[in-house]
Structure 1
C-alpha cells in the first residue's frame, strides 16, 4: 500500500470511545443521518465506510469525503442551538459505529481542557482539508476537479503496482462524478480521454493511475501533505 495518511487524529479515539453511549451495525445503503434531521449524536466509525455528501439546491449530490475506521462524522453540529445535520452520511458497506451523545461530549469538552485542545486541533485540520478540496473544485474546472479527485483517491486508497497506482475502491462513474461536482456524462468523457492517452486504465470497476505526474502537472499540484490531499 502507499503511505495512507488519514485525517490527523490528534484526538485519541480510544479516549472518545469511553464516552460512547451505544454501538451498532449499519447496513450498506442505509444512512447514519440525513441533511435536516435533528442532530443528537456524533459517530465514530469502527469499521467499514461511510460517504459524507451534500444535496445542492438543484438536486445534485456533492460527495465530500469517505469516512473509514477511526473517523468521526456529525461533528459540525457541536455547540449549536437546536442543531440539525448539515450533511448526509450514507453507508457504503456494512459498518460498525459507536455513537456519542452530543450534549454529553460538549460537557466533557468544557470540563477537560486537554480534550478541548485536541478537538480544536482535529477540527482545524478537518477544515483545512475541506478548504483545499473546494479550492480544487472551484479553480480547476471539470477536468481539474476530476484530476484532483483521482489524486486524492490515490493518496487514500492507492496500491502501488508495477504499471501504476490502483485505486482500491470500486466506484461507478456517477459516484465519481459526485465527488467532482460534475455530471456523469462529463466524467465519462474525461475518463475516456484519459484512457485513450494512457493516463489511466479501468478494470472491474477500479481505476489505475498510470501517469500520476501528468494529473499533478495539469492542475499545478502544490504537493500538499497527503494528510490534507485525501478523500477521507
Structure 2
C-alpha cells in the first residue's frame, strides 16, 4: 500500500478511537469459515494468509509484512460474514487495529478516499493472486519452489556482498504450503538440488540466494 494511503488509513482509525491489539507468534486472529465481526489492519509484524483445501492440506497465499488490511475479503454463509482465510502471526509479535466490520463499512460509505483505498486493496490482492497461482501451476514443483523463493526475496530480501539474504526463517513446511506440495520431502530434494547448483544456501536456518536470475529464468 502506498505510504500516503497508509498514513491516511492509520490516522483515520486513530481518530475513530480504534482499538490496537497484540498477538503472539503462531496465534490466529481469523479462521477460515468462522464468523468474524471485525476488520483487522496490520500495524507491525508479519502475518501469513492461508486456505485449508478439501483434502485437509494448508495452502498459503501471501505474507503481509507492512501496514495493510488482513481481513477485508469475506464470505457469506447463513446471513453471517465469515473469514475467507486463516490469518496466522509469523513474527514474534504483531499489532493490529481492530474495528467492528459494520463501523468500518459505514466509514467507507462516507469517505471517498477510504473507498478508493479499499478498492485499490481488492485490485492489488486480485493481481497478486492471479500472478502467483499462474507461476505456481505452470512450472512444475521446482518452478513452484523457485517462485516461492523469489516472492520471499520481495518480502524479506536483504542485499549482501555475496547475494540476497532472506532475513526471515521460513521452514520447508512453509514452502510446501505455498507451493501446494503435499510433503516436505519434495521441497527438501528441490532445495538440495538448488544448493548443489550454487543457486542458494541455508545459513543459520535462513535462505541465502546467490543467483536470483536463475530463479527468475526458471519460472518464465
Instruction: Provide the TM-score with structure 2 as the length reference.
Output: 0.90
Q: Does 1:88 align with 2:89?
A: no
Q: CA deviation at 1:20?
A: 5.6
- For 1:78 and 1:174, locate their aligned partners in 2 and report how far apart those are by CA, in whole Å: 27
Measured in 1, the distance between the counterparts of 2:112 and 2:60 equals 33
Residues paired across the two proteins, number: 214
Aligned partner of 1:30 in structure 2 is 27
Question: Are 2:41 and 2:71, in contact at CA under 8 Å, matched by a contact in 1?
Answer: no
Structure number with greater CO (CA < 8 Å, separation at least 6) is 1
Q: Deviations over 1:9-54 (max 9, x none)?
A: 6453324423463211111121101112112111111211111111
Q: Is the 8 A contact 2:65 2:155 kept in 1?
A: no
Structure with the bigger percentage of helix = 2
Shift of residue 8, structure 1, vs aligned partner: 4.4
Q: Are residue 72 (structure 1) and residue 72 (structure 2) matched? A: no
Structure number having the greater strand percentage: 2
Q: Which runs of 4+ in 1 moved over 6 A?
A: none
User: Structure 2: 5+ residue runs without aligned partners?
Assistant: none
| Equivalent residue number for residue 169 of structure 2 | 170
Give distance in 1, aligned partners of 2:148 and 2:47.
Answer: 17
Query: What residue number does 1:202 align with?
Result: 202
Q: How far 1:68 moved relative to its partner?
A: 2.4
Cα gap change, 1:20 to 1:208, in 2 (>3 Å): farther
Q: Where in structure 2 are the equivalents of 1:152-231 lying within 5 Å?
A: 152-182=151-181, 183-220=183-220
Structure 1 residues without counterparts, runs of 5 or longer: 1-6, 221-232
Q: Distance in 1 between matches of 2:116 and 2:75?
A: 15
Question: Per-residue deviation at 1:145?
Answer: 0.8
Per the alignment, in what secondary structure is the counterpart of residue 84 of structure 1?
strand
Match of 1:14 among 3, 10, 15: 10
Q: 37, 40, 45: which is aligned to 2:37?
A: 40
Q: TM-score under structure 1 normalisation?
A: 0.86
Q: How far apart in 1 are the matches of 2:94 and 2:24?
A: 7
